Chains A and B, each alone.
Chain A
């Protein structure tokens, strides 16, 4: 192992959404930051082509995806399969490069599920069966995160309209940009929701509706970017005009300009080192040539997605009794209670209405939260929680070739005639039903399979359980009812039946015996180790996690900068 070199103030493990934000915040304050990113720095021509073979049909063959497989199984003792997941994108800028852009804040109640739904008796009145789950409150509430949500929205440029969604938490400031242009599916769905007495609104989108540069008091060093051109190659594609909110071309260049950010791509961290006092001293990593290197640091921040955060903590176990089960794991909870959304959809096809669903972007969507969280009466329903419901953004024929009414044959003349008529006349609703933390859902190290560096792969054990089954069935019924109200000629429901948008595994909490990190994403056990990202979520919500991940990153940065004695 090559010994160290100078001690960095901060070492970032992963430079995606999280590392990209922390790098700018910390380097701008004068800290010397080293960023280790396991993927390459992509050029525009690597991510910008509007190419559905590359980014949809063959997405699992991208180096950024292929690089780091996980294994997965439904239950202990079940068959384990190798998976190439597109969610932890191994590239500078991470998954923000290809995210859809749904930038919703969580609702205030999403942070207090134990208090609001279990202690209050909602679960009991619902007749929910919560055996096997460990539902807890977050150690912080919406109000504590509100300023950081705002900072994310104004630095990256979120398009939306405040005050329309009655279920949203209070906000001090509106959105920096008006909502994106409305598409046909948005108009139809908004009208159907109004007819039924629900509360449709334009999804807050991490996509610029107008050219934008953050105004004072926000960070005006971030360069101006152009508005969305609605090309529709959005979800899973990089943005060819840079209208999509991505650290790659917003915060990362600013961090580099400070001169304090030493960014090293194609560097894969394999171990977090600790000293006898139980503090981290830095990391070991494989450099671009496959040589093991050491980077010493006063603070180490993991921002490498759910599976990798857990894997690194488990791989970094030592002979010391307190780290025998892995680093930061005195609670035994590292890898436990992983979370992911279900994927429930409702489809509508029209004989006489042209939807043109390929016109983008994906996050130009109408949404209702009347069935999200605890926003509706659960009495007798048999489950708690819910999910947001919005128009979906997948549009090219490559993503739509299997979107056909269930009574239609999947090939042959009938198929051909159907897609010729209905490809432009169909859209769907994407529902994001929440999953509760269940003790059977976890990540550990695969006992057999290893990656290209000889390290055990992370292994996910995950299934939906009774609360999810009931909630997902309910959401499908709601989706069908909403689609019927559009006046569509054919309506059906379905979904991918696989988990989507991962979280959990290093849950946050106030009690070190029942959580891995505190409300600032700081390890209870290793005080100069931070674990940031959706892996700290103790419960999921019915929205995508991105805005909350970003808010937690800004908040962790501010907390770290307050610890002046660490860097003296």
Chain B
């Protein structure tokens, strides 16, 4: 597929181009780009695709159904595919999913919870899983990552350590 988030040319997608566009549009409403990066630029979609090709493989069918339902609901409500909508319309569609109020798609609320959870995993998880690019998610909240330890209790002061990510699973211990 055409990669729609900057990045990893090696990955092979589990989604069609349209599904991936819809997922990316959803992810960027869950953690939108502001003066800091949004979920897509942080690698959340990449994270989800890798997860669905691995540990979360049994969820792929539900994902594809759910993404189709999002587009269908977007068309029914606003006359266009989800990714083509403006932010306000996108949020209205997602609010219906969050509330479980999507006619003809019972698992709407569940699907929204799943995607929200996975987007946040892709924002806050270890970069080795394909998300949290450049530790942007950790920098956003002030978490210094996989530190070996903390020599100071840092009581009421910012932790002044650069964030650390284990590059490889076989990191030295």
Note all chain A residues with C-beta closer than 8 A to B126.
51-53
Q: Closest approach, in angstroms, between the C-beta of A121 and any C-beta of chain B?
A: 46
Q: Could you tell me the distance between the alpha carbons of A397 and B123 in the complex, rounded to whole angstroms?
A: 9
Contact with B along A401-412 (1 / 0, CB 8 A): 100000000111
A–B pairs, 24, beta carbons within 8 Å = A50-B147, A53-B121, A53-B129, A57-B121, A184-B155, A230-B150, A230-B153, A232-B147, A358-B143, A358-B144, A359-B159, A396-B124, A397-B137, A397-B138, A397-B141, A397-B143, A398-B124, A398-B125, A411-B30, A411-B31, A413-B32, A415-B31, A419-B140, A420-B36
Note all chain B residues with C-beta closer than 8 A to A231.
147-150
Q: Could you tell me the distance between the alpha carbons of A356 and B157 in the complex, rounded to whole angstroms?
A: 8
The answer on a CB contact under 8 Å between B146 and A233 is: yes
Note all chain A residues with C-beta closer than 8 A to B8.
none
Note all chain A residues with C-beta closer than 8 A to B171.
49
Q: Could you tell me the distance between the alpha carbons of A401 and B150 in the complex, rounded to whole angstroms?
A: 22
Residue from the list A44, A49, A184 in contact with B166, Cβ < 8 A: A49
Residue from the list A48, A50, A187, A401 in contact with B120, Cβ < 8 A: A401
Per DSSP, are chain A's interface residues mostly helix, strand or loop, or mixed? loop
Residue from the list A44, A229, A410 in contact with B148, Cβ < 8 A: A229
Residue from the list A45, A187, A396 in contact with B173, Cβ < 8 A: A45
Q: Closest approach, in angstroms, between the C-beta of A540 and any C-beta of chain B?
A: 31
Check: A138 CB closer than 8 A to any chain B CB: no
Check: B96 CB closer than 8 A to any chain A CB: no
The answer on a CB contact under 8 Å between A356 and B154 is: yes
A interface vs B, CB < 8 Å?
Answer: 44-45, 48-53, 57-58, 61, 181-184, 187, 228-233, 240-241, 353-356, 358-360, 396-398, 401, 410-413, 415-417, 419-420, 423-424
Note all chain B residues with C-beta closer than 8 A to A187.
155
Note all chain B residues with C-beta closer than 8 A to A353.
156
Given known contacts A52-B126, A233-B146, is B157 in contact with A354 (CB within 8 Å)? yes
Q: Closest approach, in angstroms, between the C-beta of A354 and any C-beta of chain B?
A: 5
Check: B5 CB closer than 8 A to any chain A CB: no
The answer on a CB contact under 8 Å between A416 and B34 is: yes
Check: B116 CB closer than 8 A to any chain A CB: yes
Q: Closest approach, in angstroms, between the C-beta of B91 and any C-beta of chain A?
A: 7
The answer on a CB contact under 8 Å between B155 and A50 is: no
The answer on a CB contact under 8 Å between A359 and B154 is: yes
Check: B169 CB closer than 8 A to any chain A CB: yes
Q: Closest approach, in angstroms, between the C-beta of A351 and any C-beta of chain B?
A: 12
The answer on a CB contact under 8 Å between A183 and B143 is: no
Note all chain B residues with C-beta closer than 8 A to A45.
169-170, 173
Q: Could you tell me the distance between the alpha carbons of A412 and B31 in the complex, rounded to whole angstroms?
A: 5
Given known contacts A184-B154, A411-B29, is B148 in contact with A396 (CB within 8 Å)? no
The answer on a CB contact under 8 Å between B143 and A423 is: yes
Contact with A along B98-127 (1 / 0, CB 8 A): 100000000000000000100011001110
Note all chain B residues with C-beta closer than 8 A to A229.
148-150
The answer on a CB contact under 8 Å between A420 and B140 is: yes
The answer on a CB contact under 8 Å between B116 and A410 is: yes
Note all chain B residues with C-beta closer than 8 A to A354.
154, 156-158
The answer on a CB contact under 8 Å between A184 and B150 is: no
Residue from the list B31, B55, B166 in contact with A58, Cβ < 8 A: B55
Nearest neighbor of B140 in chain A, beta-carbon distance = A420
Q: Could you tell me the distance between the alpha carbons of A294 and B142 in the complex, rounded to whole angstroms?
A: 55
Note all chain A residues with C-beta closer than 8 A to B148.
229, 231, 240
Given known contacts A53-B121, A240-B173, A411-B29, is B142 in contact with A424 (CB within 8 Å)? yes
Minimum-distance CB pairs A-B, first 8: A229-B149, A423-B141, A397-B124, A184-B155, A50-B146, A411-B30, A53-B125, A424-B142
